[in-house]
Amino acid sequence: MLTNNLMWSYMAGFFDGEGCVSVVGRAGKLDAYRTLAVQVRFAQKLKTPLERMQIFLKGFDIRSRIVTYPSNTASSLDIQGIGAYRVLQEMLPYLIVKKNIAQDALRLRKLFPPMQGVRLRWEKVKDADN
């Protein structure tokens, strides 16, 4: 069995070669609740490494999902939201190629923290003459 540090370093190496970070828009039940979320994705033709990483992440209560693309027989392990930030933070000391991208994503969370209960709504302002 791999130690936690060894597994995080393995995932960082895997991510450097076969991973990406995306900023995705997420809509709640109403369009008024739009937020941004960071997504971490590991892509691979073989599903086994992704399944093992998913089991490892589950031990840290990090939710993820494996998506299989039938058109090109590839799969990806997708992690969003708070779990994505946790994964980036844990992999950060071991990243080489995508270290700057991970740091940018982590800075995004500090600059724009989640605001629960805040409702963003665009309303037309009435003219002063009306």
Instruction: Dump pLDDT digits (tens) for 72-99.
Output: 788 999 998 889 999 999 999 999 999 9
| Domains in the chain with CATH codes | 4-111 (3.10.28.10)
CB-based contacts of 15, cutoff 8 Å, min separation 6: 40, 42, 91, 95, 98
Residue 59, amino acid: G
Q: Which comes out higher in pLDDT, residue 108 or 10?
A: 10
126 band by pLDDT with thresholds 50, 70 and 90 = very low
pLDDT band, very low/low/confident/very high, at 121 (cuts 50, 70, 90): very low
Under DSSP, the state recorded for 112 is S
> What confidence score (pLDDT) does residue 125 get?
45
Closest to 76 (Cα-Cα) out of 19, 23, 119, 11: 19
How far apart (Å, rounded) are the C-alpha atoms in residues 3 and 99? 22
In which band, very low, low, confident or very high, does the pLDDT at 13 lie, cut at 50, 70 and 90?
A: very high
Work out the mean pLDDT of the chain and round it to a whole number: 82
pLDDT recorded at residue 124:
42
